[in-house]
Structure 1
């Protein structure tokens, strides 16, 4: 893990995060979702949200060459513009380069995210995980409330796992 560095994302990172999402989500999610779900969902989830990337609590992981190999963060507001609850944070749009899985990128990123959320007074983190990432989040101390269907657009559902972690 020593070869990876975590830093706060900036506007300059948006295009690199777009490429990371577009390259890695199809490869990572393929085993856990049918093509009928991926063909409609991937165009809607495989891009960086500029407001999220620049919110100050979204981070990138870079390798020794300075390439972005992971991204993700947390916000006080829930995905989709949900309300804010005191002491609650939400894990947001996490991705690891599919060529760098099992190398400590995700753990380094999530440890940083959890620590920064704790520093900000968050005592409970909530996460809408992909089926693929559920074992990873469990290993990071998250518990599952069960399966949910996220509405990405009218008529387009994406199966996810509703998870939470108490600091």
Structure 2
């Protein structure tokens, strides 16, 4: 990842983060979801809860010009979309990976993998044993490649009676000494 840094997100980053995340949903998610489902999900739930930035475990990938090319983190807070998960679809109790996005112009350059590794290392530093996530369909292959296992396919029920398909996944996080070995 030459020319990029990963740093903690700041409240002042939120507008740029949200703009990048929306582009990512529309472009990278467009191969997996109909435009109406994307629009409804973004309107009802957005791409992130601002409170996770203050928690201190949310990161951005920034290029040498200061442009935000990726985001993601983990949180102990229940995600805003959790109430919309359908029958059998509930978020697991415990730390959850949240709002992992890459700007479409920077996709397929290892940014998502790098931010996930940073998230996992931060979680290990805080003695988290398992990370959970609810993946969009466009993210499932990445998470599988990184060792996350599928717990269940589910969907977020939107107020217009459509469903936004997603997959609940989890991964055991090695302790720091295991990661170094």
Q: CA deviation at 1:97?
A: 0.4
Q: How far has the Cα of 1:127 moved from its partner?
A: 0.6
Q: In structure 1, how many angstroms separate the alpha carbons of the residues matched to 2:91 and 2:39?
A: 30
CA contact (8 A) 2:152 2:167 kept: yes
RMSD: 2.1
1:127 aligns with: 133
2:153 pairs with one of 138, 143, 147: 147
Verify the 8 A CA contact 1:14 1:48 in the aligned structure 2: no
TM-score (normalised: structure 1): 0.89
State how far apart, in whole Å, the 2-side matches of 1:84 and 1:38 are.
Answer: 24
Find the aligned partners of 1:152 and 1:62 in 2 and give their Cα distance. Answer: 33
Following superposition, the deviation at residue 65 of structure 1 comes to: 1.4
Aligned in 2, Cα 1:122/1:25: closer, same or farther, shift over 3 Å? same
> Unmatched 5+ residue regions in structure 2?
83-89, 174-181
Whether the 8 Å contact between 2:4 and 2:62 is mirrored in structure 1 is yes
Q: Secondary structure at the match of 2:152?
A: strand
Task: Check the 8 A contact 2:140/2:167 in 1, yes or no.
Answer: yes
Contact 1:77 1:84 in 2 (8 A): no
Equivalenced residue count is 165
Match of residue 69 from structure 2: 69
In the alignment, is the contact (CA less than 8 A) between 2:10 and 2:53 conserved in 1? yes
- 1:22–1:9 CA distance, 2 compared to 1 (3 A): same
Task: Measure the CA separation in 1 of the matches of 2:47 and 2:170.
Answer: 24
SS at match of 1:54: helix
More helix by share: 2
1:123 Cα deviation from its structure 2 partner:
0.7
CA contact (8 A) 2:11 2:54 kept: yes
